[in-house]
Amino acid sequence: IKSYLMVLESKLLPDTSKITIYPSSRKFYPQEVAEIKLKIESFLSNWDVSTEINTSYLFKYDRFIIFLIDDSKKAISLSEIDTSVNFIQSLEKEYNVTLLDRINVCYKQGDFVQYKELKEFKKMVKNKSVSEKTTVFNNLINTKEELTTNWEINILDSWLDRLF
């Protein structure tokens, strides 16, 4: 029996909602953003989950896909999580991007968000192409509340601080 699943505006979900951030290896083009939003809405609306959950998503900087899940009544299962990962993998293939590697570094350079492999980013720190004032994205956070308080942070407050 497919249970009640509702896709809501992200602001309607509680701060305790779980999040998963999928950083893209490149910025999506405007027409891709529109297509991907429709695909995400379709996926979330038809996601076959065994418990009552509310979901949402955010698309930030034309680069980050963020799933929000309020599973406070009952946690979603591993197979349901696998289904969402399979969906993300299908986007990776279709748009020729990397979305599942959350260890690579996303950072701000002025108004632009950049994405670098960790090895390349280490070289940039060594060459002083990025500084201790650089804003990085902490894509390992787990809740909606952390998204507002601990996602865009100074590099010295992140796991990358050891590079300095």
**CB 108, CB 30: distance < 8 Å:** no
What does the alpha-carbon distance between residue 62 and residue 81 come to, in Å, rounded to a whole number? 24
Closest CA to 87 of 55, 60, 119, 118: 55
pLDDT, one tens digit per residue, over 69-124 is: 888 877 787 888 889 999 999 999 999 999 998 778 999 988 899 999 999 999 99
What does the alpha-carbon distance between residue 71 and residue 33 come to, in Å, rounded to a whole number? 27
* Residue located via tokens 């490149």: 26
Q: 3-class DSSP state for residue 42?
A: helix
pLDDT, one tens digit per residue, over 16-55 is: 899 999 999 999 999 999 999 999 999 988 887 766 788 8
What does the alpha-carbon distance between residue 1 and residue 125 come to, in Å, rounded to a whole number? 53
